Structure 1
């Protein structure tokens, strides 16, 4: 068996799109709002970190909550250097990313990538919406997306082909109807 490796394209990536970012501070300690295009942190974090580093100074570390990110890299490459990425379920809000630099820490609210453009624009603009309300809206969007996926993947009801639990007769208790 032979294997061919094309070294002309090896290591090249498609150019990154600019980060969709609003740096309007909000109550609750938010320094801005970010609307990623996907849940792929290895692709999404480099342009975001580069944009924030230009404004906030060199970013040295990023912390995320794993609830909405399927893969969390240990490091990402930003402008020829490495930025560490960590996660926490206790200290990190699921809808925020925390960026650390020599100037301290900054928090950015994450708008779910599946959010429609109109809703994302409203959340990014703020329009007087405080941080907890923005996070609640992001949570509602994530819940709706998970529910839609559950429904379209056939999760609405238990298929009759599944075995009954051990000890189940399949009969309902007296007085109950189907």
Structure 2
């Protein structure tokens, strides 16, 4: 093909688009650029990472220390056993062996679940009165043993809680019951370690779950 034919072929294609067509193509290209920019300016929001529950607040006697009446202290954040017990058993399973049963006195607990899920297994929960001190938690590990923890009321101030945790976990601590230890701290420092809500009638002993 000579130069003349080549030029004529090129001129044919160029001439097949009118000025109106060129304007339409340019406008469509501009709209595509705007859509791309919009997608870039407004990216999808990332999903928030799950937040791990807070660890249990515990103080335990040193391994091999004389146990006495208490093996340590637990300071729960609320009176909701269904929420509080899983973190406690998670912390103790690796120290004392798998916790299988827990018992409390129902005086200060509005609801007592029959069982809780913790660390991949189920822990049965029960209550006894007057066999268990109202400020004590009893834990059993099948084939390993039994442990007793002072329950520091959730409403306790940080300074009082620190004193009680230190006293309950001291290997030389006096042989006081859980309630006696709280009463002794209140008498010595003049600060009440608890603020129990007023109740009408006998304490609740609601059992939930199966």
TM-score, normalised by the number of residues in structure 2: 0.58
How far apart are residue 104 of structure 1 and its match?
A: 1.3
How far apart are residue 131 of structure 1 and its match?
A: 4.7
1:70 to 97, 106, 110: 110
Structure in which a larger fraction of residues adopt helix: 2
Gaps of 5+ in 2: 1-49, 187-191, 199-210
CA offsets per residue over residues 86-122 of structure 1, 9 Å max, x none?
Answer: 0001221111111101211110110111000001001
CA offsets per residue over residues 32-85 of structure 1, 9 Å max, x none?
Answer: 101111110001100101111110001110011101111100000001211000
**Structure 2 vs 1, CA of residues 31 and 133 (structure 1 numbering), >3 Å: closer, same or farther?**
closer
- What is aligned with 1:92? 132
Contact 1:27 1:131 in 2 (8 A): no
Q: Secondary structure at the match of 1:100?
A: strand
The answer as to 2:35 corresponding to 1:23 is no
Q: Secondary structure at the match of 1:30?
A: coil
Number of aligned residues: 136
TM-score, normalised by the number of residues in structure 1: 0.67
Larger radius of gyration: 2
The answer as to 2:155 corresponding to 1:114 is yes
Contact 2:69 2:177 in 1 (8 A): no
How far apart are residue 15 of structure 1 and its match?
A: 2.8
**Structure 2 vs 1, CA of residues 135 and 129 (structure 1 numbering), >3 Å: closer, same or farther?**
farther
State the distance in 2 between where 1:20 and 1:72 align.
Answer: 20
- What is aligned with 1:135? 179
Gaps of 5+ in 1: 1-12, 151-178
State the distance in 2 between where 1:65 and 1:53 align.
Answer: 22
1:145 to 178, 183, 195: 195
The answer as to 2:123 corresponding to 1:123 is no
